[in-house]
Structure 1
Amino acid sequence: MDDLAILIPCYNEGITIGKVVKDCLRDTRDIEGRVNIYVYDNNSKDNTVNEAQTAGAIVRHEYQQGKGNVIRRMFRDIDAKCYILIDGDDTYPTDVIPKMYRLTIERNLDMVVGDRLSSSYFEENKRPFHNIGNRIVRGSINWLFKSNIRDIMTGYRAFSYQFVKSYPVVSKGFEIETDMTIFAIENNMAVHNEIIEYKDRPDGSESKLNTYSDGFKVLKRILISYRDYHPLGFFSIVAMILVAIALFLFIPEVWIPYLQTGLVEKIPTLIVSAFLIIGAIVSWYSGLILDSVLQKEKREFEFRLNLISKKQK
């Protein structure tokens, strides 16, 4: 088992990966114990693999495309007391690695978040829609899940062994960061925000994140996660919407004419309203049942976490 494993997912990062690996080696040389740098190539078409190997990294491959798929393979393959996940685009400072490592080990943290948004990100980043998207994602997650994570989409994090081996990777692409954050929040894991300096990609290096398609996937993941982790709240909202629609149809079209004439003239509207109310009741009860299942799952998760901790020792 490594004392520290530095994980770098890569896709066409030949321009920068060599420098990132060398910087990681330089800034971790004073860390005692076994430190390894793993570069996982995700079907790169440039010289990413050669540059990483030449710089001194252990290079492995994941052939299913997508950052989430790469991280799933990393987490399955590698055992370490602490993990550092960093992008290969040379936008993150590697001199913070020792501090993130110490925080994880000494304070028993499960996740250290490299917070770009509280420092230089909005000045350095040249893609305005990414700035807006980061604010929307951060605000929605902190509001929906009652947290205070300062940077949701950062690719720079430290993890404990318990987090890595208990986290079920279900996201395939760039929504993985959102999923990891929500998982940590909802399972009451110890999270720390560490402010870091951010610099934009060098000339010739291109971001693989698509502002619109990947942004939609992230927002979809937030909605699905809220449904999964807060089913009673989610299905209560659905129930209230159905009730509101039913009343909107029933009162002016059925109830008021009935008071005036004593007759129900719009039977189809009455039937639709009744089915909407039934749907609302079913939705609310579904939320109650799923909430009970969720509470049981949380207890079972704590048992699994204890088993993982014993395995590490």
Structure 2
Amino acid sequence: METQPQASEKGISVIIPALNEEGGIGNVILDIKKVLNGVFPYEIIVVDDGSTDKTATVARELGAKIVHSPVTMGYGFSLKRGFREARYEYAIITDGDSTYPQEKILDLVKKLETGFDMVVGIRRGASINTRHPARLLFKHICEFVVGKKIPDINSGFRAIRRSKIVPLLGDFSNGFSFSTSSTMIFTLKGYFIGYIPIHYGKRVGKSKVRFIRDTARTAQILTDIIVHYNPIKLFILLSLIPLLLFVILLTTWIWSSNHLLLLPSVIVFCFTILIFSIGLIANIFRKDL
């Protein structure tokens, strides 16, 4: 776990993870400046994740603070570096591809100031497909784990209190599932999460998301979060499989009077109890919430 950060000054740190965003980063920085100039003390931190184009040069010329990684380390890794470098308590994360409406930054901050620990932009628009079967399944699994509805679990446009997130950075993914893991962990820890609707635009440049690779990594981090923060939910799901088999065997035995099914029924039932018991033990050692 990270050490508790020093008390940050009141202001806004805008963190932009960037990998080969030369075509869009300039307009994003200019839009942010238009929104924040004269309103809040602020800084713009561009975390250059091993770009091979002029992303860092463009951002530096526009006054952004550059944090450079010599090789590509991942979206989440870049955000972690940005949070550690941030000067102010209110941290905004956004992308450098012009998909997010920077004019909504003040709306995020306004809601954050009402007592929320994180405020997330709910993406709307033709450029976002929230009805894909895989995304819906993943969303429902996450909601089952945390026990709450999540309007948008993957949005990368957020306002977060730095003092809340820095101590938890070690638990978050280094990849694209950083957004997912931050939402789930904040929810499981009982932090307040608010939402505002935003328009999600067409990106400038190529997407860095790789469906198979990032789906596998997301599944891995999801399992890790469940095991560490809410293991009983995982073991309930696992115990349902042998429990269903037990019910089938028991029902068949009752109706057929086939005594050969009695022993397998007992074995499967014992296996169900074993899995559930392991879950109870794991729940004792879960991370403090």
Structure 2 length-normalised TM: 0.84
SS of match in other structure, 1:212: helix
Partner of 1:150: 151
How far, CA to CA, are the matches of 2:22 and 2:199 in structure 1?
A: 23
What displacement does 1:97 show?
Answer: 1.2
> 1:225-244 to 2 correspondence within 5 Å?
225-244=225-244
Partner of 2:177: 175
**Structure 1 position 198 matched with structure 2 position 200:** yes
How far, CA to CA, are the matches of 1:276 and 1:101 in structure 2?
A: 53
Indicate if the aligned counterparts of 1:134 and 1:152 stay in contact, CA closer than 8 A.
no
The AA in structure 2 aligned to 1:231 is: P
**Which of the numbers 236, 260, 277 marks the counterpart of 1:285?**
277
> 1:232-271 to 2 correspondence within 5 Å?
232-246=232-246, 248=248, 256-258=257-259, 270=263
Partner of 1:11: 19
SS of match in other structure, 2:120: strand
What displacement does 1:56 show?
Answer: 1.4
CA-to-partner distance for each residue in 1:277-303, whole Å, 9 max, x for gaps?
443232222222222333x712xxxxx
SS of match in other structure, 2:217: helix
How far, CA to CA, are the matches of 2:236 and 2:138 in structure 1?
A: 23
Partner of 1:96: 104
In structure 2, relative to structure 1, the CA distance for the partners of 1:247 and 1:134 (3 Å cut) is: closer
In structure 2, relative to structure 1, the CA distance for the partners of 1:214 and 1:249 (3 Å cut) is: same
In structure 2, relative to structure 1, the CA distance for the partners of 1:183 and 1:133 (3 Å cut) is: same
**Which of the numbers 22, 25, 29 marks the counterpart of 2:30?**
22
Indicate if the aligned counterparts of 1:246 and 1:276 stay in contact, CA closer than 8 A.
yes
Indicate if the aligned counterparts of 1:232 and 1:288 stay in contact, CA closer than 8 A.
yes
Query: Greater Rg, structure 1 or structure 2?
Result: 1
How far, CA to CA, are the matches of 1:13 and 1:73 in structure 2?
A: 18
SS of match in other structure, 1:159: strand
Indicate if the aligned counterparts of 1:149 and 1:193 stay in contact, CA closer than 8 A.
no
The number of residue pairs the alignment matches comes to 278
**Structure 1 position 297 matched with structure 2 position 288:** yes
**Which of the numbers 32, 51, 54 marks the counterpart of 2:58?**
51
CA-to-partner distance for each residue in 1:245-270, whole Å, 9 max, x for gaps?
356567768x9443xxxxx6x9xx94
How far, CA to CA, are the matches of 1:131 and 1:248 in structure 2?
A: 33
Consecutive unaligned residues of structure 1, counting only runs of 5 or more, are 259-263, 299-313
In structure 2, relative to structure 1, the CA distance for the partners of 1:133 and 1:184 (3 Å cut) is: same
From the two aligned structures, give the one with the greater helix fraction.
1
How far, CA to CA, are the matches of 1:257 and 1:147 in structure 2?
A: 45
SS of match in other structure, 1:152: coil
Indicate if the aligned counterparts of 1:109 and 1:192 stay in contact, CA closer than 8 A.
yes
CA-to-partner distance for each residue in 1:51-106, whole Å, 9 max, x for gaps?
111121111123452111112222233242100000111111111112212322x2
Partner of 2:88: 80
Partner of 1:124: 127
Partner of 1:303: none
Consecutive unaligned residues of structure 2, counting only runs of 5 or more, are 1-7
In structure 2, relative to structure 1, the CA distance for the partners of 1:96 and 1:226 (3 Å cut) is: same
SS of match in other structure, 1:174: coil
Question: Identity across aligned pairs (percent)?
Answer: 24
